[in-house]
């Protein structure tokens, strides 16, 4: 990824940005987020198939913001997250340089938001293929099987909230789980409380999830919690014909409505 490194150096040397958010290789060989503030260190930047983490989560992080204007290495999910963050007025698009990465892994030239929007609109925005099989398998289960499946999976949850912390859309400074008057979600980790937490998380991400799968990937005990939000992403599209993170102007599905929204279960 020589041109990525070159571009990063150029941006840092010209002081167009103060930090490049990208990926580097850690000591055990895994790719991880890197924050390059000095062009001499830009050679650490990599991009390959190991680079899967959604870097957009850092755009709202206080200490990263303090570094100054940022350039960010952005695959499709990251670009969509950026769109969501702009539309929810968490970041200002003009203050960000997007080093887009195409699905083939090539550096894209993204001059502004409109270019990025064009790239997003041309992409397949449904849930990535690697998740579809499990989603379909779950959908085929009987209600009893589904309930048993989720009880088993969610019983493992230790409430470390890695799923929340890894999610670019979970930027609230105070989360509902931290509300204790009344205590909405039990503090302790047990199956019932865990289920309430994961339902709450999925509902708050309905229409906002951009299907990066980061929540499931970050879970230290391997709960496929990304399936909950991805399922809702499918359903949001079925009902409302929109995918999250396609425009910097859209309001999220759940904070808006159409008088003629169709459903079949309200009597």
Q: Is 141 in the site for another protein (CB under 8 A)?
A: yes
252 token code pair: 């999220």
Cβ atoms of 228 and 202 within 8 Å: the answer is yes
Q: Is 139 in the site for another protein (CB under 8 A)?
A: yes
Instruction: Kindly identify the residues of this chain, within the stretch 233-252, that bind another protein according to CB under 8 A.
Output: 235-236, 239-240
Q: How many CB atoms lie within 10 A of CB 65?
A: 15
Provide the sign of the torsion angle of the four alpha carbons 250, 251, 252, 257, taken in this order. Answer: negative
Q: Is 265 in the site for another protein (CB under 8 A)?
A: yes
Query: 115-134 mask for another protein (x: CB under 8 A)?
Result: --------------------
Instruction: Kindly identify the residues of this chain, within the stretch 94-113, that bind another protein according to CB under 8 A.
Output: none
Which of 161, 237, 242, 247 binds another protein (CB under 8 A)? It is 161
Cβ atoms of 214 and 57 within 8 Å: the answer is yes
Which of 108, 115, 189, 250 binds another protein (CB under 8 A)? It is 189
DSSP 72-85: EEE-HHHHHHHHHH
How many of the chain's residues bind another protein (CB under 8 A)?
A: 83
249 token code pair: 């102007």
Q: Is 59 in the site for another protein (CB under 8 A)?
A: no
Q: How far from 231 is each of 126, 222, 227, CA to CA, in Å?
A: 10, 18, 6
Nearer to another protein by Cβ, of 60 and 117: the residue is 60
Q: Smallest distance, Å, CB 207 to another protein? A: 7
Q: Is 267 in the site for another protein (CB under 8 A)?
A: yes
Report the residue count for the chain: 267
Q: Is 52 in the site for another protein (CB under 8 A)?
A: no
Q: Is 138 in the site for another protein (CB under 8 A)?
A: yes
Q: How many CB atoms lie within 10 A of CB 196?
A: 15
Nearer to another protein by Cβ, of 16 and 139: the residue is 139
Check whether the bond before 235 is cis (ω within 30° of 0): no
């Amino acid at each position: 990824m020589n041109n990525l490194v070159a571009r990063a150096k150029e941006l840092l040397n010209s002081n167009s940005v103060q930090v490049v958010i990208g990926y580097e290789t850690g000591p055990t060989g895994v790719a991880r987020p890197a924050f390059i503030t000095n062009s001499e260190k830009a050679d650490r930047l990599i991009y390959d198939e190991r680079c899967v983490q959604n870097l957009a989560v850092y755009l709202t992080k206080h200490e990263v913001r303090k570094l100054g204007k940022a350039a960010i290495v952005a695959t499709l999910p990251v670009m969509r997250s950026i769109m969501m963050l702009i539309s929810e007025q968490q970041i200002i698009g003009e203050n960000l340089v997007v080093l887009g990465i195409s699905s083939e892994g090539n550096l894209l030239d993204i001059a502004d938001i409109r270019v990025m929007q064009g790239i997003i609109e041309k992409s397949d925005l449904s849930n990535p293929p690697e998740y579809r099989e499990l989603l379909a398998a779950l959908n085929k289960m009987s209600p009893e099987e589904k309930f048993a499946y989720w009880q088993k999976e969610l019983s493992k949850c230790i409430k470390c909230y890695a799923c929340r912390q890894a999610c670019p859309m979970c930027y609230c400074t105070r989360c509902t789980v931290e509300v204790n008057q009344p205590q909405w979600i039990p503090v302790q980790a047990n199956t019932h409380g865990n289920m309430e937490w994961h339902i709450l998380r999925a509902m708050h991400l309905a229409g906002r999830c951009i299907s990066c799968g980061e929540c499931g990937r970050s879970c230290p005990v391997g709960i496929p919690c990304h399936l909950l939000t991805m399922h809702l992403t499918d359903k949001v599209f079925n009902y409302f014909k929109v995918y999250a993170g396609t425009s910097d102007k859209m309001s999220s599905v759940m904070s808006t409505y159409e008088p003629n929204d169709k459903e079949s279960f309200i009597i």
